[in-house]
Structure 1
Amino acid sequence: MQRNEETRTSSSIDEKVSTITSDTSTTADDLNLHNGARNPKYAPPDRYNLAFIIMVFLGMGGMYPWNFFITAADYFHFALRNVTHPEGTTPYQRTFENALTIIATSCGLVGIVCSTLLTRYLSVKLRAYGGFIVIIIIFTVTTVLARVDTDSFQEGFFIITMINVFIINFASNIVNGGLFGLQGCMPSKFATAFMVGQTFAGIFAALSSVISVLTNRDETDQNSSIKNQAVGYFASAIGATTLCTVLFAVFLRLPIVNFYFNRNDEKVINASDEKPVEKPKTPLKMIITRTWPYIGTLILTFATTLSVFPAISVMVKSTNAASGSLLNNALFLPVACFVVYNVGDFSGRFSHGLLQWPNPQQGILLFVIAVVRTGLIPMFLFCNAAPRDHTDAVFGDAVFITLIAVLAFTNGYFGNAGIMYGPKVVPPEWAEITGAIMGLCINVGLVLGAAFSFALLFCL
């Protein structure tokens, strides 16, 4: 009899999903399928928008490892320089960005897979706290290394740095996997807050790079200045990550978070004997069937982006560099590439949170647009990237900046759509793991894009 009741309950949920998804006016929050006490109408208010604001900070915390390491490129190139002939380059300098990208994205994929699998065994609290602690430890080690003279062991420094990159990105994706699942249990505005927070981390790092150039241009001891700036970078990352850990503890105690998440995180209790009942097996076939357009959209969106950013985009030089101006030389890459990208990415994520177009019922349209977006890739190959052997540069600075802006805006817009809609088209008890799967898809796209970027370098 109990089995029949469970079957009827499951059929009822499926009928709700079918009814809601057939209504083209349905919003993302309508697809939450909350019922009874979990209906958003009965949710406690988010006083002072505190939960929303903390979710922005948590999004930033998960992206600090990637952004702080790529922003400190000047420091790493200095530490890996040719000591005897400073005008020359070393193999470590030439391969640093590619090695960083491949290691960060591949271990990120492993981390998000582990986080998805651990949803059945470890709570999001343990995963997030553990990940934040590891991130703080690795940033501390990196800060100490920035104070050490590493000229005598550059090979060891390179290996230690790559190990740190692996560990810290693994930990950050354990954190992100849990947070993807957490926001999947809540109204769609929290998905926007999380994604916007990730972009804020990039904006902060990009502006730090600009400030670094401006403050160092008149320094007589350039080498000491670069190392001191690196210490400032990583020390501030320690403080920011510590703040995120504290805010996460506050977040979990907010009434609105307890309303949505703790009910979804409770163990199923048998009403007759009140003994814990094992959580039912995850219905992956059902989840994939309902979310495949968003899975495809996320993979294509992030694969397209990482194919050209930063691997190709950081090689682009201003066509007006001969003018000698600071903006066309030292500031060109930080501003035209990183600042424009991160502002565009933020604008895209924020815009989708407001517009929510295409709507949740137009997943196939979303996927088709993501396919069309791959046409941006060959256009970057004709920007003024150097060195190049097989093609000629066709586009000037204005076209390059426009391409970066379009790439960034669409990355934020469609990335936010996939993350927001995926967990909303499944029953609420599977929203957390669906959110984690959406995070996994992002990392699959990042790995594919990083691998494809190597092939594109040979096309220049």
Structure 2
Amino acid sequence: MKERTNAPQDRGCLVGICFFILGLGTLLPWNFFMTALLYFQGRLNTTEWSNGTAVVRTEYYFNNWMTLLSQLPLLVFTLLNSFLYHRVSETVRIAGSLVFILLLFILTTVLIKVPMDEDRFFSVTMATIWFINSFGAVLQGSLFGLVGLLPQKFSAIFMSGQGLAGTFAAIAMLLAIASGTDSETAALGYFITPCVGTLITLLSYLLLPRLEFAQYYLDKRHQYEAGTTDELLKESSMVENSKPNGHSNGSVTSSPTKGDVVAEAEVDPGPEGPKRAFLSLEQVEKGQAKASVLEVFKKIWVMAFCVTFVFTVTLSVFPAVTADVRTSFPGSWDRYFISVCCFLVFNVNDWFGRTVTTLIRWPRKESRLFPALVISRVVFVPLLMFCNVQSRSFLPVVFHHDAVFTVVMALFALSSGYFVCLSMSYAPQLVEQKDAETAGALMTFFLALGLSLGAALSFPLRALV
């Protein structure tokens, strides 16, 4: 989307900061639950000792179920949001979702102090994950549609904020581990953090309507009227310039019918013969009307495929497979290994991949190389499965050293963030400005589809290891 020459300036980069915080806030639920695997596995301690031997009493497959139940509601509610967003006001969708996410984070924090048997805790946690990601889906879809109305750089800023959410969660977990307090106190401090983060996100959204730069771009009616006026002035100017006297070398007729006002101009520009320009209220309304969802999809289907495939590959092994990798250097490092080499490395590089798109946008959106590079990321799946994942039943361990796992994770995350951000920012450019919000909502649905497919694939892939 091109920035209008008469647009106000984003003073103090406040709009950019707000969208960065909004991007961060959309992925706080997923990242804080995912990064807290040590806490949840501690509450679901299913190992008991019998005759000096560790016996697994119940296997909950927490990583896989958490991933699946995070992404299925994201898919369902994003689909509903894509088709029903015009029936519910933007303020209700965004502010309302943030309020419910905040309440669910508070519930999770309170449950830390509530003793509960393992089965009930697992059920309550899964229900919380389902509902918090349902509201997250509505929030994310609405915000992608909203940011699509602004210049392209704000889409990259928003995606960069999403990338930082994981880093934020990973650092919070590292600080909780390093605090040296008991597990309950550490978990309490950890889950208070997203409560504060979600509250700040809500305040950032409420600030947007008060900023002149945001008002200018988010006033959709102003955009449509301005665009239509420019087109009418251009066509009218062409007609008037070709007929300075109103009658020379042509004729002007007026024939309104059934309430439709039509101004017809016939001119003789030269050997090509007479040309006519029609300006009607019906045409103006047609130009202002939004395209159907199917029409928008036909224009953005390549970007929709790319974002789906990227997340299918990413979620098929992260975190279900990667969180079970074990260090080759046991000892005190073992406490930090997963938090650092799995979550922190992934999220830092994912954030960097998203952020670098503000400077580099290669390949171009029209290039066939773009989907080819996206498909090539599938090579990361076997590479990560051959790392030191424990326990394992079928595949051998090929890469024992921590450094190999860390490097593969870094490249895996960097490419994921880069291609996701490019896909999401390219899509609104492929449609007219009036359809940018629909394109953003549709892309969020396909993003969620990729996450759900990846989550479903994580079950057989983990079993294959």
Tell me which interval the TM-score lies in, with the shorter structure as reference length: 0.7 to 0.9
* Deviation of the 1:360 alpha carbon: 2.7
Distance 1:305 1:135 in 2: 25
Q: TM-score, normalised by structure 1?
A: 0.83
* Deviation of the 1:320 alpha carbon: 2.8
User: One-letter code of the match for 1:159?
Assistant: S
Q: Which residue does 2:376 correspond to in 1?
A: 372
Distance 1:183 1:343 in 2: 23
Distance 1:264 1:393 in 2: 59
Kindly indicate whether the alpha-carbon contact (under 8 Å) linking 1:293 and 1:366 is maintained by their aligned counterparts in 2.
Answer: no
The verdict on how the C-alpha distance between 1:53 and 1:80 changes in structure 2, with shifts beyond 3 A counting, is same
Kindly indicate whether the alpha-carbon contact (under 8 Å) linking 2:47 and 2:57 is maintained by their aligned counterparts in 1.
Answer: no
Q: Which of these residues, 305, 318, 334, is aligned with residue 314 of structure 2?
A: 305
* Deviation of the 1:82 alpha carbon: 4.1
* Deviation of the 1:66 alpha carbon: 0.8
User: One-letter code of the match for 2:315?
Assistant: L
* Deviation of the 1:252 alpha carbon: 2.5
Q: Which residue does 1:228 correspond to in 2?
A: 185
User: One-letter code of the match for 1:316?
Assistant: V
Matched, 1:291 2:300: yes
Distance 2:188 2:70 in 1: 21
* Deviation of the 1:394 alpha carbon: 0.8
Please show how residues 228-247 of structure 1 align to structure 2 within 5 Å.
228-247=185-204
Distance 2:38 2:338 in 1: 12
Unpaired stretches in structure 1, ≥5 consecutive residues: 1-31, 220-224
Matched, 1:381 2:379: no
Q: Which residue does 2:75 correspond to in 1?
A: 109
* Deviation of the 1:440 alpha carbon: 0.9
Q: Which of these residues, 183, 191, 194, is aligned with residue 158 of structure 2?
A: 194
User: One-letter code of the match for 2:299?
Assistant: R
User: One-letter code of the match for 1:365?
Assistant: L
Distance 2:302 2:47 in 1: 52
Unpaired stretches in structure 2, ≥5 consecutive residues: 230-258, 261-280
Matched, 1:442 2:447: yes
Question: 1:103-139, CA deviations, whole angstroms, 9 ceiling, x for partnerless residues?
Answer: 0000111121122122221232210011001101111
Q: Which of these residues, 144, 151, 173, is aligned with residue 110 of structure 2?
A: 144
User: One-letter code of the match for 2:439?
Assistant: T
* Deviation of the 1:385 alpha carbon: 0.6
Distance 1:448 1:298 in 2: 12
The verdict on how the C-alpha distance between 1:247 and 1:88 changes in structure 2, with shifts beyond 3 A counting, is farther
Kindly indicate whether the alpha-carbon contact (under 8 Å) linking 2:109 and 2:188 is maintained by their aligned counterparts in 1.
Answer: yes
* Deviation of the 1:88 alpha carbon: 4.8
Distance 1:378 1:172 in 2: 31
Question: 1:264-303, CA deviations, whole angstroms, 9 ceiling, x for partnerless residues?
Answer: 59999x99999xx999464233322221111111011111
Distance 2:373 2:224 in 1: 40
Distance 1:424 1:398 in 2: 40
The verdict on how the C-alpha distance between 1:146 and 1:83 changes in structure 2, with shifts beyond 3 A counting, is farther
Q: Which residue does 2:238 correspond to in 1?
A: none
* Deviation of the 1:361 alpha carbon: 2.4
Question: 1:326-355, CA deviations, whole angstroms, 9 ceiling, x for partnerless residues?
Answer: 23x111111111111011001111112211
Q: Which residue does 2:35 correspond to in 1?
A: 71
Q: Which residue does 1:168 correspond to in 2?
A: 132
Q: Which residue does 1:80 correspond to in 2?
A: 44
Distance 2:12 2:223 in 1: 28
* Deviation of the 1:423 alpha carbon: 0.8
Q: Which has the higher helix share?
A: 1
Distance 1:374 1:265 in 2: 44
* Deviation of the 1:175 alpha carbon: 0.5
Distance 1:137 1:373 in 2: 38
Kindly indicate whether the alpha-carbon contact (under 8 Å) linking 1:102 and 1:447 is maintained by their aligned counterparts in 2.
Answer: yes
* Deviation of the 1:80 alpha carbon: 2.0
Kindly indicate whether the alpha-carbon contact (under 8 Å) linking 2:46 and 2:56 is maintained by their aligned counterparts in 1.
Answer: yes
* Deviation of the 1:316 alpha carbon: 0.8
The CA RMSD over aligned residues, in Å, is 2.5
SS at match of 2:86: coil
Q: Which residue does 1:9 correspond to in 2?
A: none
* Deviation of the 1:79 alpha carbon: 2.0
Q: Which residue does 2:433 correspond to in 1?
A: 428
Q: Which of these residues, 236, 242, 256, is aligned with residue 213 of structure 2?
A: 256
Kindly indicate whether the alpha-carbon contact (under 8 Å) linking 2:47 and 2:56 is maintained by their aligned counterparts in 1.
Answer: no
Greater C-alpha radius of gyration:
2
How many residues were matched structurally?
A: 407
Kindly indicate whether the alpha-carbon contact (under 8 Å) linking 1:264 and 1:428 is maintained by their aligned counterparts in 2.
Answer: no
Q: Which has the higher strand share?
A: 2
User: One-letter code of the match for 2:408?
Assistant: L
Kindly indicate whether the alpha-carbon contact (under 8 Å) linking 1:55 and 1:193 is maintained by their aligned counterparts in 2.
Answer: yes
Kindly indicate whether the alpha-carbon contact (under 8 Å) linking 2:35 and 2:339 is maintained by their aligned counterparts in 1.
Answer: no
* Deviation of the 1:162 alpha carbon: 1.1
Q: Which residue does 1:419 correspond to in 2?
A: 424
